[in-house]
Chains A and B, each alone.
Chain A
Amino acid sequence: MLSQLEARGVSYSLQGIVKDYGEFRLTVEQLELREGEIFCLLGPSGAGKSTLLRLLNFLTPPDSGKMTLFGRTYLSSNFTPELQIMRQITTVFQRPALLNERVWNNIVYPLKLRRQAVDKAAITPIIERLGLSGILDQPAATLSGGEAQRVALARALVFSPKVLLLDEPTANLDPENIAIIEGMVTSYAAEHRSTIVWITHNQFQARRVGDRVCLLEKGRIIEVNSKEKIFSDPDNQRTREFLCGDILY
């Protein structure tokens, strides 16, 4: 039976979420994320973007509030998802953390964890699209930054996650690598109807890949709007200032 949220295509629903680090506090009164959308998170350094992503991946529990995912509700007091839920979510971090093994072993690692057979036909398109065919036997430690990040993305996609969280995956990369990664993620989104949250410091990237855009500042959501709306006529004055001044960041 589909819940109301699921019927509306909502994957995540956050209510009254608070994460308190003492000096810093993230508050999300209310936020819904949808299946099949790329949700871009913008905001200055220290705004709490990565903290929000860790919450969405259940890597850190909130201090209060509740989060609903795929129709199941998790309270701050019991923030431990079932393994099969956890295994539908993944994060690609800014600095790719690869196992000290060959590229191929890194890519199939999530399948090994799930005791899933390695379906070459299914993962070859990902490997080819990310330009990794020629380096599958190379030790991960020898990869360039761009290659390593493409391996990290391939590894995140081989098990077809329903939720893909990206924490500035293209920061420090050159335009060519950025284009490959953006192309891969947008086509994945279109094919899989997964929820994608993409943290970026580059509002031009948000314009290219985002469906909706969210501005986070000092631990609070300033505005969530469609890309078209937020870049042409934002509701909030702070958003306007941030987006105009962003070139300076």
Chain B
Amino acid sequence: MGAISDGFFESIRLLFSLDPYIYDIIAVSLRVSGIALFLSTLIGVPLGALLALSRFRGKQVVTALLYTGMGFPPVVVGLFVFLFLSASGPLGSLRWLFTVKAMITAQTIIAFPLVAGFTMAAVASVDRNLLRQLRALGATKLQASWAAIREARVGVLVAIIAGFGGVISEVGAVMLVGGNIEGRTRVLTTAIVLETRKGNFGVAIAFGIVLLLITFITNLAMLYLQKRQLLEEE
């Protein structure tokens, strides 16, 4: 019992002490997941809209792959990225292994199917009559697609937030490909693992609180957006 309460008070003290060790790790976490999310949005939103709006050969296969991607164990993604980037792997010459680039790559692969899948559902629910109307007003296919994404904006934002939630709290893949190197590739989740093992419960709990706070805010944003969508639909 003492260890927990001691750790808790220690963590509060650390969070307010502005210890650079703590804040560097928070910064790396947010940077890696932020960039991965940006890339996932760049890939996932157009891909999801394409799947929702157009018919093409092989669409079923792509959709099935996407659903598989949404439920893919992150640590297996990490394994594949590790194998590709390792010295003997096909992309070994990039020398990305154990850098943030490898972590961003893994997180992007984990997050973009989530973004694409939820975007697809959101855009598919846009009224077909509206799309036909936009075409009749002179929109090109691309312009009509963009309007459909805008119409589904709340759902698309929820998709992006879901992608963020999927990567910020992920530990296996970043541990594998990032290597948990202090000051370079150590992020919140991997730091918790390490500090707990070392018995530094205060530090571990401090990271835990930060991570909880981030996921809580993320979920709050998601709930808020979903509620706003309900209001808009009324």
Contacts and interface: CB of A to CB of B under 8 A. Distances in A.
Given A59-B135, A114-B138, A95 B129 contact: yes
Interface residues of A, number: 24
Interface in B104-122: none
Given A97-B129, A97-B130, A113-B143, A91 B138 contact: no
A152 B136 CA distance: 12
A59 B232 CA distance: 29
A98 B134 CA distance: 9
A100 B151 contact: yes
Contacts of B143: 113
B232 A141 contact: yes
Contacts of A100: 151, 232
A95 B140 CA distance: 22
Interface in B130-144: 130, 132-140, 143
Given A59-B132, A91-B133, A113-B143, A97 B138 contact: no
Contact of A99 (B140, B147, B232): B147
A90 B132 contact: no
Nearest to A89: B136
A87 B138 contact: yes
Nearest to A57: B136
Given A99-B147, A99-B151, A91 B232 contact: no
Contact of B137 (A83, A95, A110, A141): A110
B139 A91 contact: no
Given A93-B133, A95-B129, A97-B133, A110 B138 contact: yes
Interface string A190-234: 000000000000000000000000000000000000000000000
Interface in A37-96: 57, 59, 83, 86-87, 89-91, 93, 95
Most buried by A among B132, B135, B136, B139: B136
Nearest to A152: B133
Interface string B77-93: 00000000000000000
Nearest to A53: B136
A97 B232 contact: no
B182 interface: no
Nearest to A84: B138
B127 interface: yes
28 contacts: A59-B135, A86-B138, A89-B136, A90-B136, A90-B137, A90-B138, A91-B133, A91-B136, A93-B133, A97-B127, A97-B129, A97-B133, A98-B130, A99-B130, A99-B147, A99-B150, A100-B232, A109-B134, A109-B137, A110-B138, A113-B139, A113-B143, A114-B138, A141-B232, A152-B133, A156-B137, A159-B138, A165-B136
Given A57-B136, A109-B134, A113-B139, 4 more contacts: A89-B136, A93-B133, A97-B129, A99-B147
What 4 A-B pairs come out closest when comparing CB atoms?
A: A87-B138, A97-B133, A97-B130, A91-B136
